[in-house]
Amino acid sequence: MLTRLYINNYALIDRLEVNFGSGLTIITGETGAGKSILLGALGLILGNRADTSALLNKSSKCVVEGAFDIAAYKLQKFFIANELDFDEQTVIRREINPEGKSRAFINDTPVTLPLLRELTSMLIDIHSQHETLSLNDGRFQITLLDVMSGNLRSAEFFSKRFLAWKELLKSLNEKKASALQAAAEQDYLRFQVEELNTLNPVAGELKSLEEESETLSHALQIKESLNMAVNLLSGSENNLLSVFQSASGYVKQAARHFKPAEFSEQRLESVKVELKDIVAELEELAEKTELNPERLQWVEERLDALNRLCRKHRVKDADELIQKKIESEQKLNSFKNLDAEIEKLENETLKEEADLLKSAAEMSTKRKTAAGLLEKELSKMLASVGIPDGCVKFEFETAPLNPTGMDIVALLFSANKGVAPVPVQKAASGGELSRLMLCVKSLMAQHTSLPAIIFDEIDSGISGSIAMKVGNIIRLMAEKMQVIAITHLPQMAGKGHAHYHVYKEKKNNIAATRIQLLSGEERIREIARMLTGDRITDAGLKNARELMSS
């Protein structure tokens, strides 16, 4: 439940702090005193939109802080799942700076507004006099039936499953579209793969073929050049080996008498051996070099084919052609897998659709059962708030699968005997709508564990004995949950366990909203004022005491 509300620099509130207890808390005050400002500030910590126009001092930040006792509401898992520090006395804070930037905190940990709304939706519900319009909303009516049938968690789970099913359908449609596109590509890819398989490029082949082509094209020139080199080294009359042989002999003679020449002699011998090896190698190369026009033609044709495919696929060598072939084969295989994936997704979507239809039918059955019980309960409660002939009916139609199932629900209402129920927006006056909504909220409160509810002038459009009956309903609700009621009616005010008075105070010609917890005698005088106006009479005081004791 809400235990404390602190407001700083919001609308007409410079600084204000209110402590709340369990049971029924009444808030009264003149029109314009600032009761709605309290709700606006509270709305900020519930995740409502922030607006800098609400800042009293435009140069300072606005801070709204609410403390909640959550010890009894089993919210530890929520805190753990969202990496928040759990505290039985949880503090929620919202700050708005003069630039309009807003920050939210749960136990001093910064959080997003969606997360803030998720938590506070489990802690408190604000019911304004305008919320009676939700009685016309089919989603609210379905939620009401889900609450009454114990179907709420199943409905939430169904909604998640429905959205997951829609994602499956989206994926299926995307894959079918890909399959249509793939059908146009498959023939071309298959031709590509067959062409590459026929050519069967080998890694590094292009470079080696270019080298072989160069050799074969100049084979005669190569052979002649090698033979001439062999002839100069060893075949002619004054060949290089003979010259080396003679030079080596002279150096050898010198070395017999001159030690330093021995090293030169050794080096000449080494060179002579090396020259002989070179001659042998050149002779072998010349012998291996053959004129082979047929091989040259094959190499040139192979090069042309490889280069043509390289240009076609915009690659530079055989290695990249091989990679292109692998990629095309993989894409072709992916198309084969696509058919299998489509079949698998079709089976999944059909199965999930069948499960959803089954679950939707089960929810619908529970809703219809709850609707029958709710019609009876609401009729009884309407009698207790001054609509003795009130009649409520729920009409069902079947719709295509949607996040709430397959029900379209219409709430029908009649306030008068013998008058057939019609859609609630056509049948009820403002006061009747307020009472009907109060009855609905009361029944919902009995079936949920919501810790607190705030009624903002739920008594709009009613007075006298009806107001007393409405007050009794709210007082009864307060036995099971915290109820805070903003009211203009003394009959309602007399039902409270605690009573706050909101008023304006002028200081230095500036109006500020203040709130005061009333004591016993102060409460009596405030209720008397509500009965008789500013001039409080003895009769008014007497009536006030009677209202508080009733």
Annotated domain spans of the chain: 1-123+492-517, 205-316
Confidence bin at 447 (pLDDT 50/70/90): confident
User: How many Å apart are CA 549 and CA 495, to the nearest integer?
Assistant: 8
DSSP 421: P
Q: Average pLDDT for residues 33-55, to the nearest whole number? A: 85
Encode pLDDT of 49-91 as tens digits: 887 778 888 888 999 999 999 988 889 999 999 999 999 999 9
State the greatest distance between any 2 C-alpha atoms of the chain, in Å, as a whole number: 156
Considering only the top CATH level, what class is 1-123+492-517?
A: alpha beta
Spatial distance between the Cα atoms of 128 and 140, rounded to a whole number of angstroms: 15
3-state helix/strand/coil string of 74-127: CCHHHHHHCCCCCCCEEEEEEEECCCCCEEEEECCEEECHHHHHHHHCCCEEEE
Q: What is the pLDDT of residue 476?
A: 87
CB neighbours of residue 410 within 10 Å: 16
Per-residue confidence (pLDDT) for residue 239, from 0 to 100: 85
- In sign, the C-alpha dihedral spanning 73, 77, 82, 87 is positive
Cβ–Cβ under 8 Å, residues 481 and 453: yes
The Cα 210–Cα 204 span in angstroms is 10
Please tell me what DSSP assigns to residue 404.
T
Measure the CA–CA gap between 123 and 30, rounded to whole angstroms.
Answer: 29
Task: Using the predicted structure, report yes or no on whether residue 426 has a pLDDT greater than 60.
Answer: yes
Instruction: Judge whether residue 470 has pLDDT over 70.
Output: yes
Average pLDDT over the chain, rounded to an integer: 87
List Cβ neighbours of 144 (8 Å cut-off, separation of 6 or more).
Answer: 374, 440, 444
pLDDT exceeds cutoff 90 at 339: no
Compute the distance between CA of residue 245 and CA of residue 238 in angstroms, rounded to an integer. Answer: 11
Which residues, other chains included, contact 288 with Cβ-Cβ below 8 Å and sequence gap of 6+?
A: none
Single pTM value for the model = 0.62
- Check whether 127 has a pLDDT greater than 80: no
Structural tokens at position 415: 């306030």
Sign of CA dihedral 457, 461, 463, 468: negative
- Point out the least confidently predicted range of 181-185, 345-349, 443-447: 181-185
- Helix residue ranges, H only, 454-512: 464-477, 490-493
Give pLDDT, residue 449.
66
| DSSP string computed for 441-461 | HHHHHHHS---EEEEESTTTT
Which pLDDT band holds residue 341 (cuts at 50, 70, 90)?
confident
